[in-house]
Amino acid sequence: MKGSNKKILIVEDDTNFGSILKEYLTINDYDITLAKNGIVGFEKFKKDDFDLCILDVMMPYKDGFTLAKEIREINDSVPIFFLTARNLKEDVLKGFKIGGDDYLTKPFDSEVLLAKIKAVLNRQSVTVFPKSDEFEFTFSEFSFNSKLRYLIHNDGATIKLSPKESQLLRLLVININDLLLREIALNKIWRDDNYFTSRSMDVYIAKLRKYLVVDQKVQILNIHGEGFRLVII
């Protein structure tokens, strides 16, 4: 079935490279929209529903990171891949902090990109929650609804979580005071356990810690080499 006509937005200022990438993915049955820069890309994103965005990082007028931030403001779940000619750790981490799902350095193997696209789109279509039907939780000073993705503190402060934040917090709460193995969380939520998904999960753990910091009795502990524990002190 190949791509089954899933819609992909490619934002790439190198017209030759962009055209080649568009042709390759079109051959594999993906519906491709190509934009020549970040400004045009954001306008196209607002006018259609895309299953995946592939953004070049270094572009004039509006770079890929800025575009990704704007996309995340209106859609916190669409997968985002970054493309770049620079292989810098700082750029990789910045991409994941913004909410990117993968980061590819040019030149890259087109078959590897295709495999990554298939993997992330397959994950999007799979229900990632544990078998338990429980979705409403109360712990320490918080109430949490994983379906609505609301984390509410006793003082009334409410945070709307992203899908991955909600899924990860739900796993932590279900296993409260127990160890949540890193590999289990990665396979349930990201459907893959590798360097990039692991770094991405670390970013989401940091975000959850920031949300929970208002209650000093709640901590997410890092168990080195194993995973995390949500504990109530």
- Summarised one tens digit per residue, pLDDT across range 178-213 is 899 998 899 888 878 888 889 999 999 999 999 999
pLDDT at residue 1, as a whole number: 47
Q: Which residues pair with 139 in a beta bridge?
A: 142
pLDDT at residue 77, as a whole number: 79
pLDDT at residue 90, as a whole number: 83
CA dihedral sign, ordered 210, 212, 217, 223: negative
Give the sheet arrangement for strand 136-139, strand by strand. 136-139, 142-145, 150-153, 158-160
Decide if domain 7-124 falls under CATH 3.10.20.30. Answer: no
CA distance 181 to 169: 13
Q: Where are the domains of the chain?
A: 7-124, 136-232
The CATH fold assigned to 136-232 is Arc Repressor Mutant, subunit A (1.10.10)
Q: What is the pTM of this model?
A: 0.59
- Summarised one tens digit per residue, pLDDT across range 56-102 is 999 988 999 999 999 988 887 789 999 988 777 888 888 888 888 88
Quick one: 37 exposed, middle or buried, by C-beta within 10 A (0-12, 13-18, 19+)? middle
pLDDT at residue 231, as a whole number: 93
CA distance 221 to 205: 10
Q: State how beta strands 80-84 and 31-35 pair.
A: unpaired
CA distance 20 to 25: 9
3-class SS at 193?
A: coil
Neighbours of 2 (CB within 10 A): 12
